[in-house]
Amino acid sequence: MIKWGILGAANIARKALIPAIQRTEDSEIIAIASSSGKEKEVQQQFGIEKAYGSYEELLQDSEIEAVYIPLPNHLHKKWVFEAAKAGKHILCEKPASLTHQDVIEMIEVCNENHVQFLEAFMYQFHPQHHRVKELIAEGEIGEVEYLRASFSFSFDRSKYNIRLDKEKGGGALWDVGCYGTHTAINLLDSDPIEHTVKSSLDDEYGVDVTSLVTLRMENGTMAQVDCSFNAPLRHQYEVLGTKGSIQIPFAYRPDANDHKGVIKVSNQDGSYEETIIGDQYKLQVETFTKAIKQNESLKSYHDKTLENIKLLEQLYKY
């Protein structure tokens, strides 16, 4: 049984990760820490044994083996360093950090302290994406030419939202565009060598609220990623090949569709649909705890994290 501590009372922790950890058979959350005074509230909500008023106190708890970090983007590096030095395995919310060099250093400090590190990009653990890779490998749509990914949603802009805070890693690309860029790297099995981006900026906050990215990959395939804070909820991608296409309409939040992933395939032989069920947050936690218990390498995930952060950092320089 892996004993967990949660560094922060963010919505993503309360709505997704804490329940997911509690759904697994080999994990137990024994502590919550908050710097905003919410630790007792979260403790009572989820029946957590211990509550700390500071992150430092939680990291000093020798019972805790792993931590989840759902803190604002600009704080990830600091607390990954602190957690690693305290000997805790680390599941860190995406994006892992805001620069490629930061992530290199974060992985290095985890290796030096013999702890596991994983960026919490939950979508990739849903089995629908593995099935897409199988269909591509089987030649179901011929040679892949192009990938198109979209993630958008809207929220109340009349009050403060950290997604609009430039100094804390706000912006549509950092928040939801990163899914599409990660998908391109993950599914096309190649790294981007050329890229362009066009963005609409918020007049008040100066962050991108809508962005359109075009990529050319090392293997010759291309991708287009769009993201927005100014459009209805949409989280999908499509892979186009020389003989057909694969559409994934619930790509990034299948949990909002009863955990059902839907795969729509069209090719020269006709069209068909597959439904694949998977609890992506739970599967993410299980992948991480298995790596802890069996000392498995997570390098393949690190490589995608590093390439994605490098790309996003470059896009924000435009």
Residue 303 has pLDDT above 80, yes or no: yes
pLDDT band with cut points at 50, 70 and 90 for residue 194: very high
The type of residue at 81 is F
We report the CATH number of the domain holding residue 139 as 3.30.360.10
Average pLDDT for residues 157-170, to the nearest whole number?
A: 91
As a whole number, mean pLDDT of residues 149-175 equals 93
| Domain count for the chain | 2
Same domain, 156 and 244: yes
Query: Rounded to two decimals, what is the model's pTM?
Result: 0.96
pLDDT at 158: 80
Tell me the pLDDT band of 157, cut-offs 50, 70 and 90.
confident
- If asked whether residues 115 and 138 sit together in one domain, one would say no
Distance CA 59, CA 64 (A): 8
Q: Are residues 114 and 172 in the same domain?
A: no
* Cα 7 to Cα 33: distance, rounded to the nearest angstrom: 5
pLDDT tier, 156 (very low <50, low <70, confident <90, very high otherwise): confident
pLDDT digits (tens, 9 = 90+) for 38-88: 999 999 999 999 999 999 999 999 999 999 999 999 999 999 999 999 999
pLDDT digits (tens, 9 = 90+) for 79-129: 999 999 999 999 999 999 999 999 999 999 999 999 999 999 999 999 999
Task: Return the structure tokens found at 43.
Answer: 């403790």
Based on the fold, state whether residues 113 and 197 are members of the same structural domain.
no
Q: Rounded mean pLDDT of the chain? A: 97
Residues 93, 154 within the same domain: no
Q: What's the whole-number mean pLDDT along residues 166-171?
A: 95
Whether residue 190 contacts residue 307, with contact meaning beta carbons closer than 8 Å, is answered with no
Structural domain boundaries enclosing 155: 127-277
| Strand order, beta sheet including 117-120 | 50-52, 27-33, 2-7, 66-69, 89-93, 117-120
Q: Are 52 and 103 part of one and the same domain?
A: yes
Burial of 200 (C-beta count, 10 Å sphere; 0-12/13-18/19+): middle
- What is the structure's pLDDT at 317? 87
Residues 95 and 170 in one domain: no
CATH number of the domain at 105, please. 3.40.50.720
Q: How is residue 168 written in tokens?
A: 């804390």
pLDDT of residue 61: 98
Per-residue pLDDT, 121: 97
pLDDT tens-digit series, residues 235-267: 999 999 999 999 999 999 999 999 999 999 999
What is the C-alpha to C-alpha distance for residues 67 and 52, in angstroms, rounded to an integer?
14
90 shares a domain with 12: yes
Residue 159, pLDDT score: 84
Above 90 in pLDDT, residue 289? yes
Residue 45, pLDDT score? 97
The pLDDT assigned to 313 comes to 97
Q: What is the 3-state secondary structure (H, E, C) of the chain?
A: CEEEEEECCCHHHHHHHHHHHHHCCCEEEEEEECCCCCHHHHHHHHCCCEEECCHHHHHCCCCCCEEEECCCHHHHHHHHHHHHHCCCEEEEECCCCCCHHHHHHHHHHHHHCCCCEEEECHHHHCHHHHHHHHHHHCCCCCCEEEEEEEEEEECCCCCCCHHHCHHHCCCHHHHHHHHHHHHHHHHCCCCEEEEEEEEEECCCCCCEEEEEEEEEECCCCEEEEEEECEEEEEEEEEEEECCEEEEECECCCHHHHCCEEEEEEEECCEEEEEEEECCHHHHHHHHHHHHHHHCCCCHHHHHHHHHHHHHHHHHCCC
Q: Could you tell me if residue 314 is inside a domain? A: no
